[in-house]
Amino acid sequence: MAKRRVSRVSEPNSFSCTTFNILAPIYKRLIHEDHACRESDIRAYWFHRNQRILDLLLREESSSIICLQEYWVGNEELVNMYDTRLGDAGYINFKLARTNNRGDGLLTAVHKDYFRVLDHRNFLFNDFGDRVAQLLHVQVIGLSQQILIVNTHLLFPHDSSMCLERLRQVYKILQSLEAYHKENNLTPLPIILCGDWNGSKRGHIYKFLRSQGFVSSYDTAHHYTDADAHKWVSHRNHRGNICGVDFIWLLNPNKCRKVLKTSWSDAVFGLFKYHVRRASLTEEDAFAFLKADNDGDGITYSGFCEALRQLNFIGHPNGLSKEETKDLWDQADIDGNGIVDYTEFQIWNPTRWDQAVTEEDIGYRVKHAVLYPREAEKGLWPDDYSLSDHARLTVVFSPTRLP
């Protein structure tokens, strides 16, 4: 097969990045000859669809980074198909299966004309969703600039009890990135987070990443604000709902952002407040709820734990650990006297920030971003789209001098 050209998108040293959940055949439901089945049962169907997916990915203006989710790692023929076609097109491929033999996983491919791979790591969350993430540390060909690329697929929020675990998955990724920086004595580098986040701009994951300085590349390209969640979609789920859940996040190394542990605590407190609002409690009622049976003027640690237990934050294997609960309490108890009074309860948002220190003066700006099918950019989902239940998102980045 002739090698396909990867476009530099008309500007020197710019590159493009694609994220795409390609819907593993083991999950795609079909009605075949009046019987319900999975696409994995019918080779002709999944083979043809994945050839079409590769045709889309390897068009003339193909991306220099491709991040796929729900990649069917459990099928040798499909794996060989992707290895062969991507390899022939000049890509270096990295695959990672979900834990406990779930059958699907992640594929990250980088084009060797653009990047030299310095290192790669696999992150296994070892949670009840068997989720994983990939990290690639790359250097831009012809430049000294290095970039960290992450590909992941978060747990689907089947109900509100999944929200905490999803936050923890993002926290684990960010902790792993911090540890990787320290382990390799790296100055802060640009970070690109790709994947199916299974949550929209209205959710706690979005707010958590924003608090860490990340920006949504698609929203940046289209000048959308955090309130514009309805402007675009990227997924029609098994319930028939459409929403925007696929993101390519960018963090430049000059960003001033909250201490990670503080951001995590704030995100959990935000989730707590969300549950309180769902229960139609006012702020005063919430404070009384947390006080429990304490006759004093504040919340005790035992009352705090009891409230978390009632809201299903603790007391089960996937809840907050004792260490996480104590960390939350230490942040809430600002003066450290063992009691959270009403003033401390109202704050619950410390403003400690880290200023990234870097010798690098080059970062990246979002030049362009597009969804396919294009109807998704208008918040619509075409009935005749059959490649996946997700849209493909592609973003073009170009280098820029940081202020």
Q: What angle do CA 152, 155, 160 make, to 5 degrees?
A: 145
Query: What's the pLDDT at 240?
Result: 86
User: Could you tell me which residue, 329 or 387, shows the higher pLDDT?
Assistant: 387
Band the pLDDT of 297: cuts 50, 70, 90. confident
Token digits of residue 91: 């890509």
Residue 76 has pLDDT above 60, yes or no: yes
Q: Which of 136-140, 299-303, 395-399 has the lowest mean pLDDT?
A: 299-303
In 2-64, beta strands by DSSP E: 15-21, 29-32, 35-38
3-state secondary structure of 295: coil
| Predicted local confidence at residue 352, as pLDDT | 40
Q: Which of 195-204, 260-269, 329-338, 343-352 has the highest mean pLDDT?
A: 195-204
Q: Is residue 170 pLDDT above 70, yes or no?
A: yes
Contact yes or no for 134/95 (Cβ under 8 A): no
Return the H-helix or E-strand segment holding 392: strand 392-401
At 86, list the tokens: 């991507």
The rounded Cα 129 to chain-centroid distance in angstroms is 15
258 conformational bin, left if phi > 0, alpha if psi -120 to 50, beta if neither: beta
Higher pLDDT, 191 or 311: 191
Between CA 129 and CA 366, with CA 122 as vertex, the angle to 5 degrees is 95
What is the reported pLDDT for 39? 96
Model confidence pLDDT, tens digit, residues 87-114: 999 999 999 999 999 999 999 999 999 9
Indicate the SS3 state at residue 244: coil
pLDDT at res. 309: 83
Strand 242-243 vs strand 362-372: parallel, antiparallel, or unpaired?
A: unpaired
> By mean pLDDT, which of 83-87, 255-259, 352-356 is the weakest?
352-356
- Per-residue pLDDT, 52: 98
Say yes or no to pLDDT of 356 above 70. Answer: no
- Mean pLDDT rounded to a whole number for the chain: 87
Q: How far apart are CA 205 and CA 211, in angstroms?
A: 10
**225 CB-contact burial (10 Å; exposed 0-12 / middle 13-18 / buried 19+):** exposed
Q: 27 or 322: which carries more pLDDT confidence?
A: 27
331 compared with 196, residue with greater pLDDT: 196
List of residues 6+ apart from 20 with CB closer than 8 A: 53, 57, 66, 67, 68, 69, 246, 388, 390, 391, 392, 393
Which span out of 223-237, 300-314, 322-336 was modeled with the highest average pLDDT?
A: 223-237
- Which pLDDT score is estimated for 322? 86
Q: In the predicted model, is pLDDT for residue 355 greater than 50?
A: no
Average pLDDT over residues 374-381: 96
Q: Is the pLDDT of residue 30 over 70?
A: yes
Q: Which candidate, 101, 67, 100, places its Cα nearest to that of 82? A: 67
Q: Do 218 and 369 meet the contact criterion of CB atoms below 8 Å apart? A: yes
**Bridge pairing between strands 105-111 and 65-71:** antiparallel
Tell me which residue of 102, 313, 13, 75 sits closest to 304, measured CA to CA. 313
Q: How far are the Cα atoms of 154, 273, 274, 286 from residue 282, in angstroms, in the given order?
A: 32, 10, 12, 6
Q: Name 17's bridge partners.
A: 65, 395
Q: Rounded to whole angstroms, how far apart are CA atoms 338 and 117?
A: 50
Q: What are the backbone dihedrals phi and psi of residue 279, each rounded to the nearest 5 degrees, phi first?
A: -85, 5
Mean pLDDT, range 265-287, rounded to an integer: 73
Mean pLDDT of 316-336: 82
- Cβ 214 vs Cβ 221: under 8 Å: no
Please state the separation of Cα 311 from the chain's center in Å.
25
- The DSSP element (H or E) to which 260 belongs, if any, is helix 260-278
Please give the model's pTM, rounded to 2 decimal places: 0.84
Reply yes or no on whether the pLDDT at 44 is more than 90.
yes
CA-based Rg of the chain, rounded to a whole angstrom? 22
pLDDT at 369: 97
Distances 46 to 22, 81, 187, 244, 388 between C-alpha atoms, Å? 11, 12, 44, 25, 11
| Residue where the block lists tokens 């790296």 | 186
Q: What is the residue whose two structure tokens read 């109807």?
A: 375
Query: How high is the pLDDT of residue 354?
Result: 45
Q: Write down the pLDDT at residue 257.
A: 65
**For 378-392, what is each residue's pLDDT tens digit?**
999 999 999 999 999
Would you state the pLDDT for residue 108?
Answer: 98
Average pLDDT over residues 172-176: 94
